[in-house]
Structure 1
Amino acid sequence: MITFNRPDGQSVNAYLAEPANVKDAPGVVVIQEWWGLDDEVKAVANRLAEAGYRALVPDLYRGKVALEANEAEHLMNGLNFGDAASQDIRGAVQYLKATGSAKVAVTGFCMGGAL
């Protein structure tokens, strides 16, 4: 896990998976499903790293992970989508660019696709 700063200066924890050859590797910000920063989304980041990308997954729920659908729905409904998009995701892109990725993409799954 790493920590990066949002544009507003607040810090966000994130999972970072990197390829064996990090030099000039493009970056991908991976946005979680409604479950949170769980093992499944970490596995997606790890597969992207194996394919040569630096994959960064910001922890949008600040350490909370849902185990049941009703809990996931509660966490998702409590998420400020505008703040997540304009601050967390933007900060993640800026972090990857500042640390060596000239090109950065953003992808998301389930709830993350909406962001």
Structure 2
Amino acid sequence: MTAVQGTAVDIPTRDGTADAYLVHPGDGVPRPAVLLYMDAFGLRPHLRSMADRLAAAGYTVLVPNVFYRHGRAPVVELPEFIDPAARPKIFESIGPIIRELTSDLAMRDAAAYLDWLAASPFTADGPVALTGYCMGARLAVLTAGTYPDRVAAAAGFHGGRLATETPDSPHLLAEHITAELYFGHADQDQSLPEEQIKRLDEALTAAGVRHRSEVYTGAHHGFTQADTAAYDSAADERHWQALLALLGRTF
């Protein structure tokens, strides 16, 4: 594995400063960029370790704290291991923060993240790739549809609310997407019922978007997050294989 170098960085946005984690191969050579969108639990050691693994595969990876308007990470205090008993109290705090991050605000921030990556000496010229987890999968699809000329590939894993009936649903941007997309859905996931998976696939197919949508049998919402009770090691490794294959085809 390639040695990597990670550091905390600050990204100026129209609404303040977003703290983030940047990691890249230690040789300092510019590499294709990957913008990693966090899950609801936020920027924490496990997400940094995921970014490190991506960087070791040859990418420059940025993980922004998308909740920066509410403070630097960790915005909400978390236990080292998030078990089901801890979730209700955590979501009492996180829930309102998630709801305040509207699609418009998130996409305003996305421009700042993309601009910052484009200016980084560790980033190769050209479009970036995205990967997102839980709510981050939604942000990845929105970003791919809002900034199609800047995104070459996007992946989403155990995503929620990807094809709702609301006017800001990500699937409604399908006609604008030029990136190749990959989705790894959890079949034990109330946040993305079967009808939404079908609606998402139909919208992407109708728009001619290159995509693959797979349902991971037996996996639960959050299956890639090793610091939670939802973690599924087999599904997680499947996610890594699919994500690295997508990046390999793209770059």
TM-score, normalised with respect to structure 1? 0.84
> Are the structure 2 counterparts of residues 47 and 54 from structure 1 closer, same or farther at C-alpha, using a change threshold of 3 Å?
same
In structure 2, the residue matched to 1:106 is 130
Among 6, 10, 13, the residue aligned to 1:3: 10
- Separation (CA, whole Å) in 1 of partners of 2:76 and 2:24: 23
For these two proteins, the number of residue pairs brought into alignment is: 114
In structure 2, the residue matched to 1:87 is 108
- Separation (CA, whole Å) in 2 of partners of 1:41 and 1:12: 16
Tell me, which stretches of 5 or more residues in structure 1 are unaligned?
none
Task: Tell me, yes or no, if structure 1 residue 59 matches structure 2 residue 65.
Answer: yes
In structure 1, the residue matched to 2:47 is 41
**Aligned letter for 1:107?**
T
The structure whose Rg is larger is 2
- Separation (CA, whole Å) in 1 of partners of 2:23 and 2:76: 19
> Are the structure 2 counterparts of residues 18 and 73 from structure 1 closer, same or farther at C-alpha, using a change threshold of 3 Å?
farther
Structure 1 residue 4 displacement after superposition: 1.2
> Are the structure 2 counterparts of residues 73 and 33 from structure 1 closer, same or farther at C-alpha, using a change threshold of 3 Å?
farther
Task: Tell me, yes or no, if structure 1 residue 75 matches structure 2 residue 94.
Answer: yes
Q: CA RMSD in A?
A: 2.0
Q: Is the Cα–Cα contact under 8 Å of residues 76 and 93 in structure 2 kept in the other structure?
A: no
| Percent identity of paired positions between Structure 1 and Structure 2 | 30
Deviations, residues 18-50 of structure 1 (Å, cap 9, x unaligned):
112332301111011111101111111101111
TM-score, normalised with respect to structure 2? 0.42
- Separation (CA, whole Å) in 1 of partners of 2:33 and 2:91: 27
**Aligned letter for 1:69?**
R
Q: Is the Cα–Cα contact under 8 Å of residues 40 and 94 in structure 2 kept in the other structure?
A: yes
Task: Tell me, yes or no, if structure 1 residue 32 matches structure 2 residue 38.
Answer: yes
- Separation (CA, whole Å) in 1 of partners of 2:77 and 2:102: 18
SS at match of 1:78: helix
